[in-house]
Amino acid sequence: MKKLSKKVVNTGKGFAIITVSVLGIITMTACSINYSKLAEGIGDLGRSIDHAVNGTVPATSGTDLTTPTVETEETDPTESSEEVTPTPTPAPTATPIPTPTPMPERVDFSELITDTISEGVDIQLEDFAESFHLDGEETELATFKGNRMVIDIPDNKNVQTAVNLVLDGVYSEAAGLYARYSNEAASEYSLDPELYMASPYRVKINYSYSFNGRLISVVTDYEVARGNDETPDEVVAHKDEVFTFDVLTGQYVTLAMVSKDAAAFEDALKGVLAQGISTEDETYDKKDVTDPVIVVHQQGAGAVLGQVYGIVDGSLCHAPVDLTNMADYLNSYGKIVYKIS
């Protein structure tokens, strides 16, 4: 055994004390120690500590240290490993929306009549008849017939559009009822064909008009009935309407527009209508009349004739009126459009 004593290294900035103790039992017959290499190693250790204290970089001695090079194998970019294709997520299947089967509809006839009521103003009336049948069957379950009216004013499309919007609205209401009761007819027929055919649905619509050179009056009515075409068993729905339009402006003309006092004018017209529909068996008073309106007629010889329409006991009634007798109720616009001088 050999003991190495302390070695003191003076660094100039301080002292570093290195104590190295080597204890061991050396069996001479088993191994030998290279004391020169051991001393060289201790010297290197001392120099490393000295450089650490003084901040200097130690000089490299002995075999140069080299950075090991890691060899990598270049891969040909054209050679790619097999890509894993992700499994696509199936898109949700949309629930189909059933499309209703259109009603079988048969147009039996249609005839168009054009009436020129004034220069640049034409009335077109279409007479038509339609019937509803189930697929593959000749049995007529419902009918829709009558006429349809439109006005044609090529030089004043704004007036034409304003008037036709009202006229088309009436037809659309009737056509909607025809579609509705055709569906009901199919349902009732499927339950009891014989019972239904005893009282089928009938839809009718009618337009009539009159013109005085400035105003056009249109009377419309439609009804839904059951049973015989001429003498129905039951009236399911019915509606009457009266419209008067100024063909120069397209305005819907009301009593308030043509009179000085609308209430007084209306009261006078109620009296005319009540008297006009009274008979020896049944008389009416003006209090029995509601919603009176004037339907114009063409001027006569020395008189301006028209019709007073109103509701009496729930029904549309009318009676003739000489508008010259109503002149005191009219304002200047009323006298112009009714042609009263």
246 and 141 within one domain: yes
pLDDT band for position 175 (cuts 50, 70, 90): very high
pLDDT of residue 341: 80
Q: What are the Cα distances from residue 164, in Å, to 111, 151, 157, 176, 286?
A: 19, 6, 10, 18, 33
CA distance 249 to 85: 73
Structure tokens that stand for 209 in this block: 């008009």
Query: What are the start-end ranges of the E strands in 271-331?
Result: 289-296, 305-312, 315-322
CATH number of residue 208's parent domain: 3.30.565.40
Establish if 107 belongs to a structural domain: yes
Question: pLDDT, tens digit, for every residue of 258-299?
Answer: 999 999 999 999 999 999 999 999 999 999 999 999 999 866
219 and 126 within one domain: yes
262 and 122 within one domain: no
Question: pLDDT, tens digit, for every residue of 293-320?
Answer: 999 986 655 568 899 999 999 999 999 9
238 and 138 within one domain: yes
241 and 187 within one domain: yes
Establish if 341 belongs to a structural domain: yes
Establish if 65 belongs to a structural domain: no
Residue-range definition of the domain harbouring residue 46: 7-54
Whether residue 102 is predicted with pLDDT greater than 50 in this model: the reply is no
End-of-domain residue from the set 204, 226, 253: 253
Whether residue 30 is predicted with pLDDT greater than 90 in this model: the reply is no
Establish if 2 belongs to a structural domain: no
271 and 242 within one domain: no
pLDDT of residue 55: 54
Establish if 337 belongs to a structural domain: yes
Q: Residue 241 contacts by C-beta under 8 Å, 6 or more apart in sequence?
A: 170, 219, 220, 221
pLDDT of residue 228: 86
pLDDT of residue 231: 84
Whether residue 38 is predicted with pLDDT greater than 70 in this model: the reply is no
206 and 221 Cβ atoms separated by less than 8 Å: yes
306 and 229 within one domain: no
pLDDT of residue 230: 81
pLDDT of residue 138: 82
Question: pLDDT, tens digit, for every residue of 127-174?
Answer: 999 999 987 778 889 999 999 999 999 999 999 999 999 999 999 999
pLDDT of residue 106: 52
119 and 45 within one domain: no
Structure tokens that stand for 38 in this block: 């051991």
End-of-domain residue from the set 253, 271, 298: 253
211 and 244 Cβ atoms separated by less than 8 Å: no
Strands 232-246 and 289-296: unpaired
Considering only the C-alpha atoms of the chain, give the largest distance between any 2 of them, rounded to a whole number of Å.
Answer: 165
pLDDT band for position 232 (cuts 50, 70, 90): confident
265 and 246 within one domain: no
215 and 121 within one domain: yes
Establish if 333 belongs to a structural domain: yes
More confident position, 74 or 43: 43
End-of-domain residue from the set 253, 272, 306: 253
pLDDT band for position 99 (cuts 50, 70, 90): very low
Establish if 84 belongs to a structural domain: no
CB-side neighbour CA atoms (13 Å) of 251: 12
268 and 246 within one domain: no
Establish if 88 belongs to a structural domain: no
Q: Residue 209 contacts by C-beta under 8 Å, 6 or more apart in sequence?
A: 123, 149, 216, 217, 218, 219
CB neighbourhood size of 127 (10 A): 13
pTM of the model: 0.67
177 and 312 within one domain: no
Whether residue 90 is predicted with pLDDT greater than 90 in this model: the reply is no
Instruction: Pick left, alpha or beta for residue 217 (phi over 0 → left; psi -120 to 50 → alpha; otherwise beta).
Output: beta
Task: Tokens 């004593």: give the residue.
Answer: 5
Number of domains the chain is built from: 3
